[in-house]
Amino acid sequence: MLSSLLDNFGPTLAIILGFGFIIFVHELGHFLVAKAVGIKCTQFAIGFGQSLLTFRKGLGWRVGTTEKEYDKKLREHALQKRNVSDKDKDEAQVTDAQIEEARVELGYGETEYRLNWMPLGGYVKMLGQEDMDPAAMSDDPRSFNRKPVWARACVISAGVVMNLIFGLVFFVIAFLAGVEFPPAIVGQTDPAGVAAVSYPNEHPDDPAYKGLQPGDRIVSIDDKPVTDMMQVAIKVALANPDTALNMAIERDGEDAPLHYVMTPKVSEQSQQLLSIGIQPPMSLEVLEPGKKGTLPPLLAEAGVKPGMSVVAVDGKPVTRFDQFEKGVTDAMGEQVTVAFASKDDKEHIYVYAKASPRLTFTEENPIPNLMGMIPATRIQRVMAESVASELGLQPGDIITNLGSTQYPSIDKVPQIVNPANGSVSQDGALSMKVLRDGKIIAMDSVQPRNGMLGIAMDLAVDHAVISRVLPDSPLAELKLTPGSVIKSLNENPVNNFAELQIGLQKLCKQANGPIEVFIGYEMNVKDNPTFVRKISLDQQSVELIANANWSLPSELITGSELAFGQQKILVQANDPMEAIGLGITKTHQFMVQTYITIARLFQGTVQAKHLRGPVGILDEGRRIARQGWPYLMFFLGLISVNLVVINFLPIPIVDGGLMVFLIVEKIKGSPVSARVQTAAMVVGLVLIASIFLITLFYDVSRLGFFSKLF
């Protein structure tokens, strides 16, 4: 239990301390430059609110503030020097000059260093400068407001300069140690994504070049080099709306790069961000299951252990995941032997697997189907602490009823569950039935949370059950009811969609034109009548089925968690100079990306729900910190660079807003009026508070906080 506590609390503490350090160096920049130009600093604080611990030269450490004690001793010393009697002390006046003289004589520091109770920021309190009171001025020549514009500009900009310097330092440390990134290699494509249907400029409309392929290496986007999939994803997500990107692709067997021009589109898979529909490559190494996870049954039963890797398929060596995938899928549903080996190559395990049909799809009908038939929807994974887990739903369950819909297709389930479409009853409850081990299990009053049940779904291709048939498809004329079952193809028994695709592909690959097939089926109506009907497939349908793809079987890839992780490449500098170069590159990249993100917020391609506030940053930081201290350094560098941009935006209250006032003052020859500054301060506070509350809402929503409450 103690070990678990340390595992969870350690990364959290590391992020909190790291974030505190970033704030510290920011305020230290303000403080050091203020001192250098002769501004009197009365407080240097980390955090906001009441002080927990303070230090002042001459007085030492105190719990709470030293201010009352400091003021009292200076006043008493000044009065004592003037020989003021005890009875006159209360009414005696002491000038600022006399107080300063007393401070010097007593050897007290003019600055109180504070650690405040709320660790969400920090500040330097300078004489004549109050963020919350623009009218605060002082006649003291050491006050902020009495210094020339150039000096005040240096003080204000010093904080972000320090963050920029330390952001670079964090990146340099991270790259000296080495940080892993997913390479800019295509792992797989979303059938409905633009990457799957685009053609290169060099081979327009050539079916052999349609879409990006697994193993393709993305070398540049709009002639700017990319080195990892993180860069690719960010460039795509932050692209100008309705603007095409020119991607240069290196492909095995091609002498020169191919250039695919694609316009990113918003997709559900990318959380409503712009996407082209590609995923990074996976590793051949089997992951250690999470605390609640297990290896997929197919691997566990064969004796495969975490750390072992795929080394061959049907005796042919593989070194990349796409080669492994191709070896299995090229067999088109026939059994293959997958060899796993331990890291020391002393242990070998053989697993027998069959590819799963990916069926057919087009741009007009992107939902996988076979002759228009969409398989029933199966639960692939159940999320922890979700509605589904509380109901006892299990991976492999087939959804037979959801609300008033029988056998809802995979694209219809989110629409039914989400209350926004009006498909649920007024109290938000749904009835639900699933098929498990040949038995129907009924559940009443299912209450979705935030429009979700907490399940991942796939197509039940290991059955021959239909959810629905697409209109204007070859089988539309049969008017198959949801839940109907395909029984035969040309009098040959069919037990699942895999067998159906195998049979159809053999017929279509041999055909020179349109063909006719006989389909046997059982209707999901009273008495379950069976029929055999002749179906005509036109040339387009024949070609579509002949080219239908296959994928790795779900029982080989997933259990309660992924069995294989993402492929990573180590980015490590050979010497400090190379690390500095990498650090400068990443610093520039992330600064530009932050500015572009802000621009895309106004354009609408990035939404408020995609942003992270303090809670989201802490949660993401904890996850990254668990990977090791180099990743913590990289994350702190990212945060530090982002703060440079955010803190220097022209928003009142932050440094950028104060710099705007200084520029206006320099132009007009006099300070902006206190009234205008106060109004701007209120606007800035409202804006920052609104952003904080919005990001807080989405942060806790992502963490499942509201779902636990409701």
Instruction: Return the residue matching tokens 């650690």.
Output: 115
pLDDT band at 589 (very low <50, low <70, confident <90, very high): confident
Q: What is the pLDDT of residues 169-228, one digit of tens each?
A: 998 999 898 888 888 898 888 877 888 889 999 998 888 899 898 889 999 999 999 888
Q: DSSP for 121-168? A: EEEEEETTB-TT-TT----STTSGGGS-HHHHHHHHHHHHHHHHHHHH
Per-residue pLDDT at 529 exceeds 90: yes
Per-residue pLDDT at 429 exceeds 60: yes
Task: Report d(CA 624, CA 85) in Å as an integer.
Answer: 65
Q: What is the pLDDT of residues 225-258, one digit of tens each?
A: 988 888 888 888 888 888 899 999 999 889 999 9
Determine contact, residues 459/397, Cβ cutoff 8 Å. no
Task: Report d(CA 297, CA 560) in Å as an integer.
Answer: 10
What is the per-residue pLDDT for 80? Answer: 84
Q: Tokens at residue 61, please?
A: 């450490």
Distances (CA, A) of 121 to 152, 611, 613: 21, 19, 13
Task: Report d(CA 563, CA 623) in Å as an integer.
Answer: 19
Closest CA to 38 of 171, 150, 194, 169: 150
Handedness of CA 418, 424, 430, 432 (dihedral sign): negative
What is the per-residue pLDDT for 291? Answer: 44
Share of the chain above pLDDT 90, in %: 29
Q: DSSP for 194-214? A: GGGT--BTTSTT-GGG-S--T
Cβ neighbours around 617 below 10 Å, total: 18
Task: Report d(CA 55, CA 82) in Å as an integer.
Answer: 29
Is 521 exposed, middle or buried, given 0-12, 13-18 or 19+ CB atoms closer than 10 A? buried
Q: DSSP for 595-618? A: HHHHHHHHHTSS-GGG---HHHHH
Sheet holding 112-126, edge to edge: 60-63, 41-56, 112-126
Domain spans of the chain, in order of start: 1-21+127-178+574-710, 41-125, 282-358+558-566, 366-551
Instruction: Return the residue matching tokens 């020339």.
Output: 148
Instruction: Return the residue matching tokens 């999320």.
Output: 383
Distances (CA, A) of 42 to 71, 142, 293, 657: 12, 11, 55, 23
Q: What is the mean pLDDT of the chain?
A: 83
Is 130 exposed, middle or buried, given 0-12, 13-18 or 19+ CB atoms closer than 10 A? middle
φ and ψ at residue 439, rounded to 5 degrees: -115, 145
What is the per-residue pLDDT for 367? Answer: 84
Instruction: Give residue 10's region: left, alpha or beta (phi > 0; psi -120 to 50).
Output: alpha
Share of the chain above pLDDT 70, in %: 88
- Weakest mean pLDDT among 1-5, 393-397, 494-498, 549-553: 1-5
Fold observed for domain 282-358+558-566: Pdz3 Domain (2.30.42)
Closest CA to 608 of 554, 496, 687, 671: 687
| Burial state string for 192-201 with b = 16 or more CB within 10 A and e = fewer than 16 | bbbbbbbbbe
Per-residue pLDDT at 615 exceeds 70: no
Instruction: Return the residue matching tokens 């401070």.
Output: 103
Topology match between the domains 282-358+558-566 and 366-551 = yes
Determine contact, residues 199/293, Cβ cutoff 8 Å. no
Q: Mean pLDDT over residues 549-569, rounded?
A: 70
Q: Tokens at residue 406, please?
A: 């029988």
pLDDT band at 4 (very low <50, low <70, confident <90, very high): very low
Closest CA to 286 of 264, 303, 272, 269: 303
Query: What class, spelled out in words, does domain 366-551 have in CATH?
Result: mainly beta
